[in-house]
Chains A and B, each alone.
Chain A
Amino acid sequence: MRWQTKEKAVERIVSAVGLFSVIVLLLIGFFLFKEAFFIFYKIGVMKVLFGMAWYPTYEPPEFGMFPLIMGTVAVTILTSLLAIPLGIATAVYIAEVAHHRVKEILKPVIEMLASFPSVVLGFFGMVVVAPILSNWLSPILSEHIPELLRSTGIPLLSTTVADFFYDKLFIASGLNISTAALMLTARAIPVISSIAEDALTAVPRTYREASYSLGAGKWDTIWRVVIPSSVSGLSVAVILGIGTIVGETMIVLMVAGGAAVIPYWIFDAARPMPAAIAAEMAEAPFRSLHYHALFGIGAILFLITFGLSLLSDFISKKYRSVRIGEKI
């Protein structure tokens, strides 16, 4: 009888510990919303979410998060433009194109990029990429090219296009959302490519063989067979990549420029949401409105990533049912 009681006790303990992550997730939600509630209650949800001014240390302070939210949106869009094609191309390269030996090197290298400390990426952005942009790229784009264009004398090209270069491609500071997007790309590529690679390898070999037997080449097979049949897995990769970009803190904190204004152009500075939390928490007095406002930002970030996780889970479940049905 004794071993049976022991077995039961062990099962109880193991099951209880198994619930730990559920409890932790609930606790995270509870504490974030508990500390965030006050700012929404005191200022009003609409005024906080869509307020145009973030002046938390002014007298009276203002807590409009819209510039911060738009900062995150801008950085995320810019990064996605780079990271999604690059991430998926990396996955296609590893899963479909690369020679066995190349694959054996590239895969661990990408995995190492995934765990590369983001503070070093931010540091690299600050000391290398930002100076390159402002000292080297900016003069070329906003001085040399317009000069060259003006000297040609071709209508439109020597006026409108030259003015565009002159006005818009002048980079006042290297710390802006483009630099942030470049460094965030390094962060997002490994996330997107590792999930996308799983999606690509999950495509049955018979699909590829059928395509080859019809006379299609390698690229035709990748483009018309492998990618379309793994599109839901690829979209999961993209969604989780976006989640990484939205939540990444150190890079945007160090290189996005820090100005809490809405960025209207790719060389404007911004203060995305995680950067605001990281930069201001140390100076926000405990349990002040500012402290609660920063938890409010945290709660919004939590909700966004929670939503993205649910969405990707939903898509990957649906994807499995498609695969079982073999609808293609």
Chain B
Amino acid sequence: MTETFRDARAPIDALRKRGRNLTESFFLSLIRLLGSVGALILFAILFFVAYNGIHILSWEFITQPPLDAMTKGGIFPVIVGTVLLTMLCMIVVMPIGVTTAIFLSEYAKPGLLLKIVMMSIYTLAGVPSVVFGLFGLAVFVVTLNFGMSLLAGSLTLAIMVLPYIISTSEEALKAVPYSFKEASLACGATKWQTIRKVILPTALPGILTGAILGTAKVSGETAPIMFTAAAFFTTGLPRSVFEPVMALPYHIYVLATAGTHIEETRPIQYGTALTLIVLVLGMNLLGIILRSRQRKKRAW
């Protein structure tokens, strides 16, 4: 009786199982497809910009200033502007960011104060970049009277990237094993000596990786420097930090939207975009490789 019953159900079970396998493979393939869209977009844009920009890039292009109302020549001052903005920004943000991370991982006691600090960093990370631009305009350009300048732009960028530097540095500090700290304290070192001689050196590679990734982020930002630092055109290189600078992202924006020679400068736009992408993604890749190496090399 049961034997015949099982026989009668067998084909239905088989069908059901097959149906389930079909749904399984259908949805898993769908996930594979949808999950690859982001990567495909990246490669499509990369390919497109590289294809159109590669023949513009030349030694002359990156070492000459713009000529003939920017329709000819290179982007040397633009590259220098971006490099100066990012370097000054990192010089300002690294000490503050790392010290805040030390505060969070070593000194802060659990309580309301720590909660407020964490919440502020978290909120700061979500503030739109154009709002940082407004803040930089109101504080650095107007109130502190720096004017549209390299200094004002760098400080604005520094505030924008601060939460990122804090969180990467904190992660690096927290990855230092507790036993290192205990060993140092047991040798009679004070807390500060332990931080300076043991924790910071051990965490340094991680902190630097965060700095590299932060630099990549900063150098591609446009909105924060639009009203604080970026100039449409400057003659020559900036002579002091109180002068406006040209910058790669702003240069792309201006040439592509505001000029009277939008079509004429198209090659320069592609060239500038490619330069920016190579700079940003190059640093990004460097940071990612360094980070994964550190994770593998970690002996503890």
**Hey, which bits of chain A sit against chain B, CB under 8 A?**
3, 6-7, 10-11, 13-15, 17-22, 24-25, 27-28, 31-32, 34-35, 85-87, 89-94, 96-98, 106, 108-113, 115-124, 126-128, 185-186, 189-190, 193, 217-220, 222-223, 240, 243, 246-250, 253-254, 274, 277-278, 281-282, 286, 294-295, 298, 301-302, 305-306, 308-310, 313
Task: Let me know if B103 and A14 touch, CB within 8 A.
Answer: yes
* A294 to B131 alpha-carbon distance, docked (Å): 10
Task: Let me know if B131 and A301 touch, CB within 8 A.
Answer: yes
**Selected A-B contacts with CB under 8 Å, 29 pairs:** A15-B107, A18-B104, A19-B117, A20-B100, A21-B162, A21-B163, A90-B35, A96-B31, A108-B285, A109-B38, A115-B280, A117-B221, A124-B49, A127-B256, A193-B38, A217-B20, A219-B24, A240-B126, A243-B126, A253-B253, A277-B133, A278-B226, A295-B138, A298-B134, A301-B128, A306-B126, A309-B122, A309-B126, A313-B122
* A118 to B225 alpha-carbon distance, docked (Å): 14
Chain B, residue nearest A302 (CB): B131
Residues of B within 8 Å of A13, CB to CB, are 99
Residues of B within 8 Å of A7, CB to CB, are 190-192
Which of B28, B107, B116 sits near A22, CB closer than 8 Å? B116
B269, CB-defined interface residue at 8 Å? yes
Are A92 and B41 CB-contacts (below 8 A) given A17-B99, A21-B124? no
Residues of B within 8 Å of A24, CB to CB, are 120, 124, 159, 162
Task: Let me know if B100 and A18 touch, CB within 8 A.
Answer: yes
* A249 to B108 alpha-carbon distance, docked (Å): 36
Residues of A within 8 Å of B269, CB to CB, are 123
Task: Let me know if B126 and A17 touch, CB within 8 A.
Answer: no
Residues of A within 8 Å of B21, CB to CB, are 217
Task: Let me know if B131 and A32 touch, CB within 8 A.
Answer: yes
* A301 to B191 alpha-carbon distance, docked (Å): 42
Chain B, residue nearest A281 (CB): B227
Count residues on chain B whose CB falls below 8 Å from chain A CBs: 85
Closest CB in chain B relative to A82 CB, distance in Å: 9
**Hey, which bits of chain B sit against chain A, CB under 8 A?**
20-21, 23-24, 27-28, 30-32, 34-39, 41-42, 45, 48-49, 96, 99-100, 102-104, 106-108, 116-117, 119-135, 137-139, 142-143, 159, 162-163, 166, 190-192, 213, 216-217, 220-223, 226-227, 249-250, 252-253, 256-257, 266, 269, 273, 276-277, 280-281, 284-285, 288
* A193 to B220 alpha-carbon distance, docked (Å): 21
Which secondary structure dominates where chain B touches chain A? helix
Task: Let me know if A126 and B256 touch, CB within 8 A.
Answer: yes
Residues of B within 8 Å of A302, CB to CB, are 127-128, 131
Residues of B within 8 Å of A117, CB to CB, are 220-222, 249, 276-277, 280
* A106 to B39 alpha-carbon distance, docked (Å): 7
Task: Let me know if A93 and B48 touch, CB within 8 A.
Answer: no
Task: Let me know if B288 and A35 touch, CB within 8 A.
Answer: no
Chain A, residue nearest B279 (CB): A117
Task: Let me know if B27 and A219 touch, CB within 8 A.
Answer: yes
Task: Let me know if B34 and A85 touch, CB within 8 A.
Answer: yes
Closest CB in chain A relative to B57 CB, distance in Å: 15
* A185 to B45 alpha-carbon distance, docked (Å): 14
Which secondary structure dominates where chain A touches chain B? helix
Which of A121, A190, A308 sits near B45, CB closer than 8 Å? A121
Are A298 and B253 CB-contacts (below 8 A) given A18-B117, A21-B121? no
Task: Let me know if B253 and A250 touch, CB within 8 A.
Answer: yes
Which of A14, A17, A217 sits near B24, CB closer than 8 Å? A217
Chain A, residue nearest B123 (CB): A309
Task: Let me know if A278 and B130 touch, CB within 8 A.
Answer: yes
* A22 to B288 alpha-carbon distance, docked (Å): 30
Residue pairs across A and B with CB atoms within 8 Å: the count is 267
Task: Let me know if B253 and A254 touch, CB within 8 A.
Answer: yes
Task: Let me know if B99 and A18 touch, CB within 8 A.
Answer: yes
Residues of B within 8 Å of A313, CB to CB, are 119, 122
Residues of B within 8 Å of A186, CB to CB, are 38, 41-42, 45
Closest CB in chain B relative to A214 CB, distance in Å: 13
Closest CB in chain A relative to B125 CB, distance in Å: 8
Are A97 and B284 CB-contacts (below 8 A) given A21-B120, A254-B253? no
Residues of B within 8 Å of A309, CB to CB, are 122-123, 125-126
* A120 to B143 alpha-carbon distance, docked (Å): 32
* A182 to B107 alpha-carbon distance, docked (Å): 45
Residues of A within 8 Å of B220, CB to CB, are 115-120
Residues of B within 8 Å of A127, CB to CB, are 256, 266
Task: Let me know if A308 and B126 touch, CB within 8 A.
Answer: yes
Residues of A within 8 Å of B37, CB to CB, are 86, 89-90, 189
Residues of A within 8 Å of B100, CB to CB, are 17-18, 20-21
Closest CB in chain B relative to A21 CB, distance in Å: 5
* A119 to B99 alpha-carbon distance, docked (Å): 32
Which of B99, B121, B138 sits near A35, CB closer than 8 Å? B138
* A98 to B39 alpha-carbon distance, docked (Å): 14
* A87 to B28 alpha-carbon distance, docked (Å): 15
Residues of A within 8 Å of B104, CB to CB, are 18
Task: Let me know if A274 and B223 touch, CB within 8 A.
Answer: yes
Task: Let me know if A282 and B227 touch, CB within 8 A.
Answer: yes
Which of A20, A35, A121, A218 sits near B28, CB closer than 8 Å? A218
